[in-house]
Amino acid sequence: MSETHFGFETVDERDKARRVRGVFDSVASRYDVMNDLMSLGLHRAWKAYAVAVAAVREGDKVLDIAGGTGDLARAFARQVGERGLVVLTDINEAMLRRGRDRLLDEGRLVPTALCDAEALPFATASFDLVSVAFGLRNMTHKERALAEMHRVLRPGGRLLVLEFSKVAAPLAKAYDWYSFKVLPQIGRLVTGDADSYRYLAESIRVHPDQQALKAMMKDAGFGHVDVHNLAAGVVALHVGIKV
């Protein structure tokens, strides 16, 4: 039996996806408002930064993995134009449904696919850009997911991983206090579910830091990987190029 992390807990690998699904089923309806509250709106700036770095062009084909309620897919859909394509994917039906509905409310018909990032239902070399924002942390076999992201990119295509990372040492104490004391309380008040937000704080601590994730991306086949620290490392954007 193989084991993995679910936050600070060690669980059977086969159990992690089910537990993660439980977290996102529970938070889906309040996901967007919680993102704004928890990050004081900063998640919008982090995503805007990722979209700016992506520099998507008209006609590009973009795959947004673990896209949830669709913030990145929405921004990319505005940029690729009529000739381009954006596909929004997620493993969780409740999250994907909200993403699709938000896009439809804006008058954008974006194809969606309910799928596991570890087994993508797309042909090899079919996208110019793949993005995954705040999703990799939740995946059971991150190496497998990164290999799949690499596979579906065309040579020269880029992977953008936006994810919580390791905060600079002087901020670590304050960040821990916020994550473990304040965050679960906000979660409890807004969603009635403190546990999911405790999982969020714990899952960030067990996620590979900037250098470890860079090494994993290189192992997955990305020839060049740039790391951009945001908010003193609270979040990092990794950009990998498929050579």
Ligand X SMILES: C[S@@+](CC[C@H](N)C(=O)[O-])C[C@H]1O[C@@H](n2cnc3c(N)ncnc32)[C@H](O)[C@@H]1O
In the list 4, 6, 24, 199, the residue contacting ligand X (rule: CB under 6 A) is 24
Does 184 bind ligand X (CB under 6 A)? Our answer is no
* Phi, psi (deg, nearest 5) at residue 166: -95, 120
Q: Which is nearer to ligand X, 91 or 167 (CB)?
A: 91
Give the one residue of 4, 6, 20, 157 binding ligand X; rule: CB under 6 A. 20
Please report the sign of the dihedral spanned by the C-alpha atoms of residue 225, residue 79, residue 126, residue 103: positive
Residue whose pair of structure tokens reads 């929004």 in the numeric block: 88
Only one of the segments 63-71, 122-130, 171-179, 229-237 lies at the binding site for ligand X (rule: CB under 6 A); that segment is 63-71
In the list 34, 62, 71, 150, the residue contacting ligand X (rule: CB under 6 A) is: 71
Q: Whole-number minimum distance, CB 116 to ligand X, in Å?
A: 5
Whichever of 32 and 154 has its CB closer to ligand X, that residue is 32
Q: Does 193 bind ligand X (CB under 6 A)?
A: no
Q: Which stretch binds ligand X (CB under 6 A): 114-122, 146-154, 173-181, 209-217?
A: 114-122
**Under the criterion CB under 6 A, does residue 236 sit at the interface with ligand X?**
no
Phi, psi of 44 (to 5 degrees): -65, -40
Q: What is the rounded CA–CA span in Å between residue 153 and residue 40?
A: 34
Q: 36: how many CB neighbours lie within 10 A of its CB?
A: 12
Q: Which tokens sit at 186?
A: 């906000």
CA distances from 203 to 37, 83, 106 (A): 19, 38, 33
Q: In terms of DSSP H, where are the helices of the chain?
A: 13-27, 31-39, 42-54, 71-80, 93-105, 142-152, 172-177, 183-191, 194-205, 210-219
Q: Which of residues 76-105 bind ligand X (CB under 6 A)?
A: 90-92, 95
Binding piece for ligand X, criterion CB under 6 A, among 61-69, 172-180, 204-212, 233-241: 61-69
Q: Counting contacts by CB under 6 A, is residue 117 touching ligand X? A: yes
In whole angstroms, the minimum distance from the beta carbon of 30 to ligand X comes to 13
Nearest to 176 by CA among 27, 12, 29, 8: 8
152 lines the binding site for ligand X (CB under 6 A): no
Binding footprint of ligand X on the chain (CB under 6 A): 20, 24, 65-69, 71, 90-92, 95, 116-118, 133-135, 138-139
